[in-house]
Amino acid sequence: MKKILAGVFGVLLFACSIYGQEKPIAFINARIIPIVGQPIEQGILLVQNGRITAVGDARTVRLASNVQIIDLQGKVIMPGLVDTHSHIGEGSGADGSSPIQPDVRLLDSLNARASSLQRAQSGGITTVNVMPGSGHLNSGQTLYLKLRDGNIVDDLLIITEDGRIAGGMKFANGTNPIRTTPGNFPGTRAKSAALIREQLVKAQEYREKIRKAGNDKSKMPPRDLVMEAFVEVLDGKRVVHFHTHRHDDILTAIRLSKEFGFRVVLHHVSEAWKVADEIAKAKIPASIIMIEAPGGKLETMEVSMTNGAALEKAGALTGFHTDDYITDSRLFLRSAGLAVRNGMSREKALYGMTMAGALMLDLDKRIGSLETGKDADFIVLSGDPLSVYTHVLETWVDGKKVFDRSDPKDYLIATGGFGATTDREVHIDCFDGDISGGGN
Amino acid sequence: VKNEKRKTKSFILICLTLFTIHYSPFTVSAQIAVRGETVWTMTGEPIANGVVLIGANGKIEAVGAANQIKIPAGYKTVSAKVVTPGLIDAHSVVGLSGYLNQPHDQMQIDNSSPIQPDLRAFDAYNAEEKLVEWIRGFGVTTLHTGHAPAALVSGQTMIVKTFGKTVDDVVMIPTAMIAVTIGDASLAGQGRSPGTRAKEAAMLRAELIKAGNYKGEPRDLKAEMMSKVVKREIPLLITAQRAQDIMTALRIAKEFNLRIVLDGVSEAHLVINEIKASGFPVIIHPTMYRAGGELENLSMETASKLKQAGILVALQSGYETYVPKTRIVLFEAGLAAANGLSQRDALATITIDAAKVLGIDNRVGSLAVGKDGDVAMYDGDPFEYTTHCVGTIINGQVVSEVVR
């Protein structure tokens, strides 16, 4: 009975088919790169109700008579790209008042109609970890988003199995949080570590109080947003996304995660090539950014474009990010191309753009590969994903097309030009009429 | 005693220098044959199985199909899948701007005054800057660099080759252009002038009038340089992003009968006819520049649209203040090729057409007899992300053998 009610409720709630078409669609004749499993020539991807219902070829996939067929002869399909670290959506995080602000949520600042989100769609990104601010030890809570077409942040959220809004926690070390002017910000690396440890020790004590209180509400400690957020970190519910460049800073991040048992993804890791074995041994994932020249700041003077290759060789789980606006979301696939140029294997580079990111965001059961039952998040490419000449032709999220290069409006977003950076118009599903005219 | 010490010091220095030259990893002697499965000469169709001979004087002696050119005895032979002319970065700040991005290596802009045409690029260029080596490893052999587009008249630019120890070793043209910027980037702020676009134009016009009246006495270093502009000896490199700023540049050029090169021009696609009619060449912003601020309307297709209109177009690595500290013109041209330009035309924006825009096409930009022996070598389509630059040659000397 419960299930039926939930079903009815679901139909009502999603009558506008937020989660995709009810009629099955078969994408046929494409080269399919499923990421998990070998590429399929003349493949078939079957999608219904926002999910992948089959992946294979004419021998393995049977098409029902009501299926809508889209012929993608000569094209390539691969999973939607996962950007593990971006600043699209005009979101903000912590302010300048203190170096540690885990209570601040990017959720409370995102502009869901920002053109930067559309640009990311046009680059084939379907899931993104939007990071708050910069220049703190802890800049606040990050937000994992699906790049659906939406008007408000709620339209883009990912809800976890236990009902939480999916997101992580942004940490940083090295010179990023250090300030030389006197105040409450750290002045050295050791001070940075000490300040974070102090807060996490407090969080351990806070958690212990809650545990001891059990069901006795009178013994519960007063609500503390900072502590609550850090308890989620300690409990592994909120993965730490750690901005870190130099090899010694990378090791500090690993050391802290071991001491407090928090789960961590290392970001940027400019000197990963120096400590790739240590990263792999600690079984900690690393997300890299491909920048075409060294420097720009002291901590990246020894950045190497071989980081991907070094991490792969060491056996570390390696993903990619744009750090948009540092690199352009529209050109995210370029990261894989440049990584392969510098010694990474083709397979691991493409895995890094998709499945590795999904694993880093705890979304590997839903996204990251083209497998039956997973979300229908995929992209259609004009050719090989590693070629400069290849364009993203279509981006699909939850079985809905959110970018189509053949649509002039989307084309403008993809290539730029007059008006390409203005906010998206209000998007309304199930409504084809003129908004100002009052509908039809 | 002091003198003795100095002599000993000098002796050691000379020995070290000789040692370095002798044991330099790079081939010093010219006389080199460069073979390529595809040779993009940029003078005509690419040559299949071609060869480029570079003589002892560092100049190109012969270019043609391998079966028609005999490689003389004693020539070192190097080969690659694809051979192109050494690449030209038509506008950069590299060498004045260093990779560390610290005050001591950021010499591209002085903010003490909005008009400083007397600032010479060659008094600031660091030939051994890491970024110079870095771009050389991608095949860039010629660099137009200098003061940044960050003040109304920020200073001079210069043209160099990307290999050599000192600025004197590398200089091709010591004063190539005077860098002028019209738009947001030149606004001085804090109540100082220029505080508006119109004020920028008024100040620039006043400076040009002053230069026109300059008689040489008493010497005025600023007026001395600007008078060369007025006399059409040196062009202005006018960076203008917004359409109205491009039009201001054209208006002032017409008023004073100046030679100018338009730079940046992120809204050029809105005033193509006007640019075409002016006859001035254009150095477009990097294809991958960020779309924001006064560059919000930039397009990856601008190079293609301007080329189609018959405008002479070069690409540039541009001015970066953060990460990446420089862009690579090879990649910028590659993306232009993915957005409307033919492969040949895209390559032209960083070789022969760049040379024409800079007025150095008698020396570089194509593989032709008598030109400098500057060559870039690739193990595939130069524009592909997964292709590597496998060698760079300047004046017949192999100056980079890294695989990058």
Q: pLDDT tens, B53-83?
A: 999 999 999 999 999 999 999 999 999 999 9
Q: Rounded mean pLDDT of B381-397? A: 98
How many CB pairs lie under 8 A apart between chains A and B? 107
Mean pLDDT of B324-352: 98
Q: Which residues pair with B171 in a beta bridge?
A: B160
> Which residues of chain B have a Cβ shorter than 8 Å from any chain A Cβ?
98-102, 130-131, 134-135, 267, 269-270, 288, 290-292, 296-301, 320, 322-328, 331, 334-335, 337-339, 383-388
Beta-bridge partner residues of B94: B97
Distance CA B168, CA B147 (A): 18
Contacts of B334 in chain A (CB under 8 A): 388
User: Each residue of A202-230: pLDDT tens digit?
Assistant: 999 999 999 999 999 999 999 999 999 99
Strand A378-381 versus strand A76-79 pairing type? antiparallel
Give the model's pLDDT for residue A439.
32
Identify the weakest region by mean pLDDT among A230-244, B21-35, B98-112, B331-345.
B21-35
Dihedral angle, C-alpha B134, B139, B141, B142, nearest 10 °: -90
Q: Give how far the C-alpha of residue A353 lies from the chain's centroid of Cα atoms, to the nearest Å.
A: 10
- Which pLDDT score, from 0 to 100, does residue A429 have? 61
Q: Which of A386, A388, A390, A413 to mutate to test the interface with B (most CBs of B within 10 A)?
A: A388
pLDDT tens digits, one per residue of B195-230: 999 999 999 999 999 999 999 999 999 999 999 999
- Asked if residue A332 lies in contact with residue A81, where contact means CB atoms within 8 angstroms, the answer is yes
Residue B44 has pLDDT above 50, yes or no: yes
The predicted pLDDT at position A438 comes to 34
Contacts 24+ apart (CB under 8 A), A247-253: A247/A271, A247/A272, A247/A274, A247/A275, A248/A189, A249/A173, A249/A174, A249/A189, A249/A299, A250/A275, A250/A278, A250/A279, A251/A275, A251/A278, A252/A173, A252/A189, A252/A193, A253/A171, A253/A173
Nearest CA in chain B to A385: B385
pLDDT band at B8 (very low <50, low <70, confident <90, very high): low
Quick one: average pLDDT of A19-45? Answer: 92
Give percent above pLDDT 90 in chain B: 92
Between the CA atoms of A307, A311, A317 and A320, what dihedral angle is there, to the nearest 10 degrees?
10
| DSSP state string for B126-178 | -TT-HHHHHHHTTTEEEEEEES-SSSTEEEEEEEEES--SSHHHHEEES---E
pLDDT at A13: 43
Q: How far apart are CA A270 and CA A37, in angstroms?
A: 31
Out of B290, B297, B324, closest to residue A420 by CB:
B297
> Can you tell me the distance from the alpha carbon of A320 to that of A351, in angstroms, rounded to the nearest whole number?
10
pLDDT computed for residue B28 by the predictor: 53
Closest in B300, B320, B327 to A415, CB measured: B300
Provide mean pLDDT across the span A229-239. Answer: 98
Q: What is the pLDDT of residues B271-304, one digit of tens each?
A: 999 999 999 999 999 999 999 999 999 999 999 9
Contacts of B97 in chain A (CB under 8 A): none
Taking contacts as CB-CB distances below 8 angstroms, the residues of chain A near B298 are 416-417
| CA–CA dist B240, B361 (Å, integer) | 25
pLDDT in tens, A121-136: 999 999 999 999 889 9
What pLDDT score was predicted for residue A424? 86
Name chain A contacts of B292, Cβ cutoff 8 Å: 325, 421
What is the structure's pLDDT at A426?
82
Q: Measure the CA angle with vertex B132, ends B128 and B133; round to 5°.
A: 80
Instruction: Flag if B385 and A419 touch (Cβ within 8 Å).
Output: no
Report residue B371's pLDDT band, with 50, 70 and 90 as the boundaries.
very high
Maximum pairwise Cα distance, chain A: 72
| Residue A428: C-alpha distances to residues A119, A150, A152 (Å) | 19, 8, 11
Mean pLDDT score across all residues of chain B: 94
How close is the nearest chain A Cα to the Cα of B334, in Å?
7
* B12 — pLDDT class (breaks 50, 70, 90): low
* Least confident among A320-334, A419-433, B43-57, B264-278: A419-433
CA atoms within 13 A on the CB side of A173: 29
Residues A299, A174 contacting (CB under 8 angstroms) = yes
CA distance A152 to A129: 17
Averaged pLDDT, B338-352: 98
| Bridge partners, residue A138, by sequence | A100, A171
Query: Above 70 in pLDDT, residue B115?
Result: yes
**Are B270 and A418 an interchain contact pair (Cβ–Cβ within 8 Å)?**
yes
Alpha-carbon distance of B303 to B345, in angstroms, equals 9
pLDDT mean over A235-256:
98
Distance, CA of B259 to CA of B289 (rounded, Å): 26
Which residue's entry shows tokens 């901005």? A243
What does the alpha-carbon distance between residue B272 and residue A272 come to, in Å, rounded to a whole number? 46
B141 and B86 in contact (C-beta within 8 Å)?
yes
Query: Can you give the pLDDT at residue A14?
Result: 44
Q: Could you give the percent of chain A with pLDDT greater than 90?
A: 90
Q: What is the torsion angle, in degrees rounded to the nearest 10, for the CA atoms of residue B162, residue B166, residue B172 and residue B175?
A: 120
| Closest-approach residue (CA) in chain B for A422 | B296
Considering only CA atoms, which of A376, A398, A334, A344 is closest in space to residue A83? A334
Contact A295 B101 (CB under 8 A): yes
Task: Give the CA count within 13 Å in the CB-facing half-sphere of B272.
Answer: 15
Alpha carbon distances (Å) from A283 to A82, A258, A317, A355: 20, 11, 8, 16
Show residues of chain A in contact with B100, CB under 8 Å. 295, 298, 301
Q: Please list, residue by residue across A216-230, b when 16 or more beta carbons sit within 10 angstroms of its beta carbon and e when fewer do.
A: eeeeeeeeeebbebb
How do beta strands A392-397 and B47-54 pair? unpaired
* B319's tokens: 């001015």
Residues from chain A that touch B337, judged by Cβ atoms under 8 A, are: 388-389
Q: Do A416 and B267 lie within an 8 Å CB cutoff?
A: no
Which pLDDT does position B7 carry in this prediction? 57
Q: In whole numbers, what is the pLDDT of chain A averaged over residues?
A: 93
For residue B9, the model assigns a pLDDT of 57
Short-list A367, A343, A361, CA closest to A78: A367
Contact by Cβ (8 Å): A271, A316? no
Nearest Cα to Cα of residue B343 among B307, B299, B293? B307
Which chain B residue shows the shortest CA-CA distance from A327?
B290
Query: What is the average per-residue pLDDT within A226-244?
Result: 98
| A13-17, A22-26, A360-364, B239-243: the lowest-pLDDT one | A13-17
- Among B290, B334, B385, the residue with its CB nearest the CB of A328 is B290
Q: What is the pLDDT of residue A133?
A: 82
Distance from CA of B101 to the nearest CA of A (A): 5
- Backbone phi, psi, residue B6, to 5°: -65, -40
Q: Do B323 and A297 touch (CB under 8 A)?
A: yes
pLDDT band per the 50, 70, 90 thresholds, residue A15: very low
CA distance A439 to A436: 8
- Using 50, 70 and 90 to split pLDDT, how confident is the model at B4? low
Q: What gap in Å lies between CA A166 and CA A239, rounded to an integer?
A: 10
Residues of chain A found within 8 Å of residue B130, distances taken between Cβ atoms: 294-295
C-alpha neighbours within 13 Å on the C-beta side of residue B253: 26
Chain B contacts of A418, Cβ < 8 Å? 267, 269-270, 297
Q: Comparing B25 with A41, which gets the higher pLDDT?
A: A41
Which pLDDT value is given to residue A440?
A: 31
In the numeric block, which tokens belong to residue B385? 């992300």
B29 pLDDT exceeds 90? no
> pLDDT-based confidence at A11, cuts 50/70/90?
very low
Give the span between the Cα atoms of B103 and B91, in whole angstroms: 22
**What is the token pair recorded at A113?**
């109609």
Q: Identify whether the C-beta of residue A64 lies closer than 8 Å to the C-beta of residue A24.
A: yes
Instruction: Report the pLDDT value the prediction gives residue B15, as an integer from 0 to 100.
Output: 52
Residues of chain A in Cβ contact (below 8 Å) with chain B = 291-298, 300-301, 325-326, 328, 331, 334, 337-338, 340-341, 386-391, 415-421
What does the pLDDT read at residue B21?
A: 44
| pLDDT value for B174 | 98
B199, burial (CB in 10 Å: exposed 0-12, middle 13-18, buried 19+): middle
